[in-house]
């Protein structure tokens, strides 16, 4: 009896979701609501009005409002971010086994697919687990981007456009137009320092979260992306109103903090104070591989990610990894590298 | 010259003055087109300029109202407000009046820029004040329309029945103020006490962001979706409607000799007979 209850709850939830989706599709097809109208009502307008309202209560500072809203949004999507990070961590832990399978069944694609599927099933890892939370976050980022752009209203057209989106509350209405200056930057135009901060913070975050790979093609791709994305965002920060750059910088910093909590510094190597003083060489690119720290890394991945999805099965997977994991996994095991560096400092 | 401009140029003593979005102000010989001088405000301009005697007044996005010598373009004085100045100033009896996005309307001595008074509203001001018989009429983003004593800066009356911002310039005619709002309505207000002069406001099919004009005894109004309406000024009833523009109309209407000139977003310039609403001509100025 006690087991039946969750099942019925689950079915009910699924039924409600399906019903909502059907109603939504019906409303869209019948033209009662449009996709743009729905988007504006559900996401854009609440976010935009909150931003304007916060500007009013943060001493008229739009910059502070952007920072606080970014933090609020990052907190709201925190569970998704964690799932994404843990999924990618679990995937990383499986990499040696996947590589082994790929080598073993290089000529039999069908068998490889079956084996991979079985591996995922056995370990409880969902290969799309990293992508799905990211996709869910995407609309929120787009709405935030649109809100920032509209709230800045740096041309008469923008400001009139804003008048269509604002709620009729006197507090919100009296807050516009917003003041554009925050610290040194005019938030309505591009700013070189904001652009540099955007690119630098994005590079650090990218570096921390990049997954080391034995595949040379993937390594090259990672290296290119490590530079291309920060440069691209830096250029955009220079072109777009720097309010947007401010949101990128804050978002990146939060991303760095979360990433550090989950995976440590990753492939970003922080030189220790002592080694800098001594002029000692930097820590090697993959310290754990040399020290055999693989196991502890895999353990972490298994503990943090897999149990959520696969439960007890994961332990056997982790145990397996203890036996099979090579140096590649470890570079993900920045925690170990970090602990090592900590030891170095003590010395 | 380069870029584009929002506000209308001004002509005085054979010179045409224009302020570009990029902050450059130019004076051009109206007959020959030869540039006489230019001045860089170093801040974006979103409004037009006003010329009075030997001075050109223009507001900019750094919150300043600048007074330039009309003859040589040198800076005479500057006055700083607390937010951007997108409105075109108005000059009357040696006083320059302008609204700022800092929610205030300012009255300055045109000769030296000293402040006579400032009147605070509940929202930004992007329209040009109308100054008639010692009263300044102006609408604000707080959805209210104000009549202010031009001499003292005290409020004479306020109309607060609109549902959205007053963006465009109002028009005064025979004791009535006509003002379009972003709530799609055109309001006719008694200039003496601010009460509604029509039984009900005229509802257009979109936001009214371009300033109305009186042409051929008809109040001509454009809504943003490109519809042009001819209204009876006394009652607000629709006399005619012109639906031939087919695209957005954002800029102010212009009237001369009973003809209304309309600039549309498709780069076409229309001339309509103000009395009948018939198209006189239409020309595509650029592609």
Q: Does A163 touch chain B (CB under 8 A)?
A: yes
Instruction: Considering only residues A32 and B280, tell me which one the structure prediction assigns the higher pLDDT.
Output: B280
Alpha-carbon distance of A44 to B195, in angstroms, equals: 37
| Mutate which: A61, A177, A180, vs B, most B CBs within 10 A | A177
Catalogue the long-range contacts made by A119-123 (C-beta closer than 8 Å, 24 or more residues apart).
Answer: A119/A94, A122/A310, A122/A313, A122/A316, A122/A317, A123/A90, A123/A94, A123/A306, A123/A310, A123/A313, A123/A314, A123/A317
What whole-number distance in Å separates Cα of residue B19 and Cα of residue A283? Answer: 60
Contact B123 A174 (CB under 8 A): yes
Helix (H, G, I), strand (E, B) or coil at B174: coil
Q: Looking at the complex, does the CB of residue B217 fall below 8 Å from at least one CB of chain A?
A: no
Q: Do B46 and A156 count as a contact with CB atoms less than 8 A apart?
A: yes
pLDDT level of residue A239 (50, 70, 90 thresholds): confident
Any domain includes A329: yes
Cβ atoms of A237 and A248 closer than 8 Å: yes
- Residue percentage of chain B with pLDDT more than 70: 98
* Alpha-carbon gap, residue A28 to A32, rounded angstroms: 6
Query: Is A313 part of any domain?
Result: yes
* pLDDT at A290 exceeding the cut of 60: no
- pLDDT value of residue A211: 67
Q: Is residue A288 part of a domain?
A: yes
The reported pLDDT for the residue numbered A168 is 85
Average pLDDT value for chain A: 71
**pLDDT interval class at A10 (50, 70, 90):** low
Do the domain assignments include residue A325?
A: yes
Whether A237 has a pLDDT exceeding 70, the answer reads yes
What pLDDT was estimated at residue B167? 93
So what's the pLDDT on residue A341?
Answer: 37
Domain total of chain A: 1
Contacts of A154 in chain B (CB under 8 A): 44
The confidence score (pLDDT) of residue B1 equals: 60
What average pLDDT does this structure show over A296-311? 38
In a domain, A337, yes or no: yes
Residue A116 lies in a domain: no
Of residues A114 and B95, more confidently modeled: B95
Mean pLDDT of A76-88: 79
DSSP string, A169-182: -HHHHTTPSPB-EE
Residue A105 has pLDDT above 80, yes or no: yes
Instruction: Note whether B123 contacts A: Cβ–Cβ < 8 A.
Output: yes
Q: Give one word for A282, left, alpha or beta, with left for phi > 0 and alpha for psi -120 to 50.
A: beta
pLDDT at residue B66, rounded to an integer:
97
Q: Give pLDDT tens digits for A195-219.
A: 999 999 988 888 787 766 666 666 7
CATH fold for the domain made of B1-160: Methylamine Dehydrogenase; Chain H (2.130.10)
**Mean pLDDT calculated for residue range A306-335:** 38
Which pLDDT score, from 0 to 100, does residue A139 have? 83
Whether A38 is in a domain gets the answer no
- Which residue stretches of chain B have pLDDT < 70? 1-3, 286-287
**Residue of B59, B123, B160, B252 for testing the chain A interface, max A β-carbons within 10 Å:** B123
Picking from B124, B143, B250, the nearest residue to A176 by CB comes out as: B124
Closest CA to B225 of B184, B188, B253, B254: B184
Q: What is the pLDDT of residue B286?
A: 66
pTM above 0.90, yes or no: no
Q: How far apart are CA A42 and CA A147, in angstroms?
A: 13
**Ramachandran angles phi, psi of A29, nearest 5°:** -65, -40
How high is the pLDDT of residue B196? 96
Q: Which of A55, A59, A156, A175 to mutate to test the interface with B (most CBs of B within 10 A)?
A: A156
pLDDT digits (tens, 9 = 90+) for A141-188: 788 778 888 888 778 888 888 888 899 888 888 888 888 778 887 777
Nearest to residue B44, comparing CAs of A178, A147, A153, A56? A153
Do the Cβ atoms of A173 and B143 come within 8 Å?
A: yes
Chain A residue closest to B250 (CA)?
Answer: A157
* pLDDT confidence of residue A320: 41
Domain of residue A319, residue span:
278-346
A186 touches chain B (CB under 8 A): no
Residue in A closest to B163 by C-alpha: A168
Does A329 score more than 60 pLDDT? no
Q: Does A274 touch chain B (CB under 8 A)?
A: no
Most trustworthy range by pLDDT among A131-140, A258-267, B187-196: B187-196
Show which of residues 124-143 on chain B sit within 8 Å of chain A, judged by CB atoms.
124, 126, 141-143
Span A296-316, mean pLDDT?
38
Q: State residue A302's pLDDT score.
A: 39
Residue A329: cis peptide before it, omega within 30 degrees of 0: no
> Each residue of A53-71: pLDDT tens digit?
998 888 888 889 989 988 8
Evaluate if residue A265 carries a pLDDT over 80.
no
Q: Given this model, what pLDDT does residue A158 score?
A: 84
Contact between chains at A163 and B123 (C-beta distance less than 8 A): no
Of A154, A157, A163, the CB nearest to B165: A163
Q: How far is A180 from chain B (nearest CA, A)?
A: 9
* pLDDT at position A181: 79
């Amino acid at each position: 009896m006690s087991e039946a209850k969750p099942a019925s709850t689950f079915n009910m939830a699924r039924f409600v979701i399906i019903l909502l989706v059907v109603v939504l599709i019906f409303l869209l097809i019948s033209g009662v609501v449009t996709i743009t109208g729905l988007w504006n009502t559900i996401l854009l307008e609440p976010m935009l009005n909150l931003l304007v309202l916060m500007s009013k209560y943060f001493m008229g500072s739009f910059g502070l409002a952007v920072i606080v809203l970014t933090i609020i949004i990052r907190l709201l999507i925190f569970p998704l971010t964690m799932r994404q990070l843990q999924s990618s961590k679990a995937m990383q832990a499986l990499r040696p086994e996947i590589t082994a399978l790929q080598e073993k069944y290089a000529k039999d694609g069908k068998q490889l697919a079956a084996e991979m599927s079985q591996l995922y099933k056995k370990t409880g890892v969902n290969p799309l687990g990293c992508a799905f939370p990211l996709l869910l976050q995407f609309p929120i980022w787009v709405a935030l981007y649109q809100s920032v752009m509209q709230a800045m209203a740096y041309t008469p057209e923008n400001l009139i456009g804003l008048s269509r989106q604002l709620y009729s509350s006197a507090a919100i209405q009296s807050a516009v137009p917003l003041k554009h200056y925050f610290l040194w930057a005019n938030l309505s135009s591009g700013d070189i320092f904001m652009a540099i901060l955007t690119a630098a913070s994005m590079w650090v975050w990218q570096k921390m979260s990049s997954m080391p790979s034995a595949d040379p093609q993937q390594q090259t791709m990672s290296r290119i992306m490590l530079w291309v994305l920060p440069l691209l965002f830096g250029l955009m920060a220079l072109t777009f109103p720097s309010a947007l750059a401010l949101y990128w910088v804050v978002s990146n910093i939060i991303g760095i903090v979360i990433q550090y909590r989950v995976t440590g510094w990753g492939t970003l190597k922080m030189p220790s104070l002592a080694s800098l003083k001594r002029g000692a060489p930097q820590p090697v690119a993959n310290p754990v591989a040399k020290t055999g720290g693989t196991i502890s890394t895999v353990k972490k991945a298994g503990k943090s990610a897999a149990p959520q999805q696969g439960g007890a099965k994961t332990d056997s997977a982790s145990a397996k990894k203890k036996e099979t994991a090579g140096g590649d996994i470890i570079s993900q095991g920045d925690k170990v590298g970090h602990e090592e560096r900590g030891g170095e400092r003590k010395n | 010259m380069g870029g584009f401009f929002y506000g209308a140029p001004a002509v005085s003593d054979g010179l045409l003055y224009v302020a570009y979005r990029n902050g450059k102000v130019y004076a051009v010989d109206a007959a020959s087109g030869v540039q006489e001088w230019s001045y860089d405000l170093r801040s974006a301009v979103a409004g037009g300029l006003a010329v009075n005697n030997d001075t050109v007044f223009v507001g900019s996005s750094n919150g300043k109202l600048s007074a330039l010598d009309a003859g040589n373009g040198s800076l005479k004085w500057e006055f700083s407000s607390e937010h951007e100045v997108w409105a075109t100033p108005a000059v009357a009896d040696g006083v320059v009046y302008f609204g700022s996005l800092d929610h205030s309307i300012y009255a300055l001595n045109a000769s030296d820029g000293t402040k006579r008074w400032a009147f605070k509203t509940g929202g930004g001001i992007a329209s040009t004040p109308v100054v008639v018989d010692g009263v300044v009429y102006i609408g604000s983003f707080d959805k209210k329309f104000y009549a202010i004593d031009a001499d003292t800066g005290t409020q004479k009356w306020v109309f607060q029945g609109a549902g959205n911002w007053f963006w465009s310039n109002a028009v005064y005619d025979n004791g009535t103020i006509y003002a379009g709002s972003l709530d799609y309505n055109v309001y006719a207000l008694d200039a003496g006490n601010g009460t509604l002069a029509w039984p009900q406001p005229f509802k257009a099919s979109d936001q009214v962001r371009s300033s109305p004009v009186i042409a051929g005894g008809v109040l001509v109004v454009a809504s943003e979706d490109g519809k042009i309406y001819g209204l009876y000024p006394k009652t607000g009833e629709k006399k005619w409607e012109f639906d031939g523009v087919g695209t957005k109309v954002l800029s102010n209407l212009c009237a001369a000799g009973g003809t209304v000139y309309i600039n549309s977003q498709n780069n076409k310039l229309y001339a309509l007979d103000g009395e009948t609403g018939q198209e006189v001509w239409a020309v595509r100025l650029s592609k």
